[in-house]
Amino acid sequence: MAGLWFETALLPGGWAFGVRLEVAEGRIRSVEVDVPPAPGDERHGIALPGLCNLHSHAFQRAMAGLTETRADAGGDSFWTWRAMMYRFVDRIEPEHIEAIAAQAYVEMLEAGFVRVAEFHYLHHARDGGLYDNIAEHAAHIGAAAEQTGIALTLLPVFYAHANFGSVAPDHGQRRFTTTPEQFGCLMDACRRAIARLPGAVLGLAPHSLRAATVGEIAAILPLCQSGPIHIHIAEQSREVDDCLAWCGRRPVEHLLDNMAVDESWCLIHATHMTAGETARLAASGAVAGLCPITEANLGDGIFPARDYAAAGGRFGVGSDSNILIDAAGELRQLEYSQRLASGGRNLLTTLETRSSGRRLFDAARHAGARASGIAAAEIAPGHPADLVSLNLHDTSLSARRGDALLDSWIFAARHGLVDCVWLQGRKLVSQGHHHLRDGISSRFRRTLGVLTG
């Protein structure tokens, strides 16, 4: 039985002070408030429940900073970035995936994410052929999660076409594509690959309506069993235009008209929606998976978060391309995008929750967990000890209490305010550093030398 004492902690009923936890077998056994630390207790500043990162392409962490140079005379866009990503993918081997993912997962833990939903679509060998183990890459993703200790929700991706209308995939997509029959084998192999990981969840992800027809999606959904379902949708205006030209409907509209979208679904990006689509998506119970830093980096556009939230829509955040892994930064960018679009401030708050930091944190915590196939973390008896501590003595938190701590962490603190992270009671991060950071970072640097040399 381990004792943890915090000067203040965010409990289900709100902020409390002098909070002492007893942790055993990975779970919180008891919570006391307004008590002094017991002899031998670890003492920390601020305790928060951990966040789920609901959308990651781990391998893209190796590209961070390498696509910020103008590509051609016509200017850059998401589509020129995608072409560069395809060229980068051509060089990746399974051992590279593990090294890159481990670095990304270390950074996620250090940023306050305790679980990652890995939207995994890089399946095949460099020539497009199948490995003897069709889940070879997924097994390396699982190994990276096991090494770093992060909890994993694995989302194998079904990818069959290059565009609406079942256009044949091109050369750059050869490592992604499967038939529905192959995808069934992939799901079985992925289930075996993550079986040993504590708390691992298996869902599935039709890549997009460009890459999978609604008939194909309907055929593969039973493979998911009770796991979450994720899909990229309406990320780019050209995607909307292509969908309209093909079927006369917009992507979100087409999905909602043809699939029973409910709370088991997570629609990634959903950037370009009409008011009607926004209201329908909110009413469906699905989660909008927002990746504000990547969406800004790629020039995707601004999600209609204010109208969506006002309609009761659920939203969480992910790090997507992993250009910069920062849980607080994703929440900050989400709010700032709404401010830039509207000219207002504190736009996602409610009369019940007037703090932007608290509103963003709570929304992302609950919806991110739902999209990851788990219950939201709580600092309460019986819950897993999935905890994040912030350094209360950082100057950005001086003279702050309650929700002002979240406001200051998200909007006024430098990177590195996360002090410690525990997953199922196991401390993975201390004084802001993962306990295996040095070795994992060394391997990552060697891998980058191979891939970019």
Catalytic residues: 269, 320
Could you tell me if 266 and 230 are in contact, meaning their C-beta atoms sit under 8 angstroms apart? Answer: yes
Short-list 317, 267, 265, 274, CA closest to 296: 317
Residue 169 CB burial class (10 angstroms; 0-12, 13-18, ≥19): middle
What distance in Å separates the CA atoms of residue 334 and residue 295, rounded to the nearest whole number?
Answer: 10
CA–CA dist 95, 141 (Å, integer): 10
Query: What are the residues facing 340 on neighbouring strands?
Result: none
CA distances from 16 to 220, 224, 401 (A): 46, 40, 10
How many C-beta neighbours within 10 Å does residue 145 have? Answer: 26
Helix (H) or strand (E) segment spanning residue 239: helix 237-247
Alpha-carbon distance of 231 to 158, in angstroms, equals 10
Edge to edge, the sheet with strand 2-11 lists 27-32, 14-24, 2-11, 42-49, 387-390, 418-423, 426-430, 433-434
Look up residue 400 and give its DSSP letter.
-
Amino acid identity for residue 106 in this structure = V
